[in-house]
Amino acid sequence: MSLSIRPLTPDDAEAYGQLRLAGLKADARAFASDYAAEAKLTVTDHRKTLDANRMVGAFDGDTLVGSVGYFVPRHASMAHRGHVWGMIVAKSHRGQGIGRSVLSALVEDAKAQNLRQLHLGVGAYNVAAIHLYKRLGFCTYGTEPRALHIGDEDIDEHLMVLFLDKEDR
C-alpha cells in the first residue's frame, strides 16, 4: 500500500462522492444523511462541499480510501472552533491506521488555522471510532440522547472536544 495524505480539493469531488456512498453502505448509522439522498448528489454538489469545508484525504495510489473534514461557524463568537464531520475509511482499508492519519492531518490543519478547539459527535455504539478519538486527545463532554433516528433505531451521540491551545481544560 502506497498511502499519501493531502488536502482534498474540488478536483477530488467524484472520488469523494464514491467514498461517501461506500461509507453509507458500510455503516449507515454513522452518518446523519442517508444513501438515497446522497446518491442523488452530483459531482457539482460534491465540489461545493469540498470547496466550503477543510477536508483531508488518504490515497492508496490514486484511490481515495479515507477522508474527514471540518467547518468553522461563521459567527465571530464561534470562529475559534471547528466542527469535525464525515470521517470515512473504506471498508477494505480499515484497521490500517488511515483514520488516525487523516484525523491527525486535520488536527494539524486546524492548529495552522489558529483554531482553539475541535468538536465532533460520534455514535455511542461506535467503540472503534471513540477509541481513535480518545487516542488523539479528544474527551467526551456529554451525550446527546436520540441524536439520530435511522430506520427504527435511535442513536445517542457522544459529544467530544479536543483543545488545541495550551489551555487544556
Q: Say if 23 falls within a structural domain.
A: yes
User: By the 8 A CB rule, do 93 and 101 touch?
Assistant: no
Domain boundaries, position 58: 3-163
Tens digit of pLDDT per residue, the chain (169 long)? 689 999 999 999 999 999 999 888 877 667 767 777 777 888 999 999 999 999 999 999 999 999 999 999 999 999 999 999 999 999 999 999 999 999 999 999 999 999 999 999 999 999 999 999 999 999 999 999 999 888 888 999 999 999 998 765 5
Q: Say if 133 falls within a structural domain.
A: yes
| Domain at 44, CATH number | 3.40.630.30
Q: Say if 168 falls within a structural domain.
A: no
Q: Say if 169 falls within a structural domain.
A: no
- Spatial distance between the Cα atoms of 2 and 112, rounded to a whole number of angstroms: 26
Grid cell, residue 120, equals 465532533
The count of domains in the chain is: 1
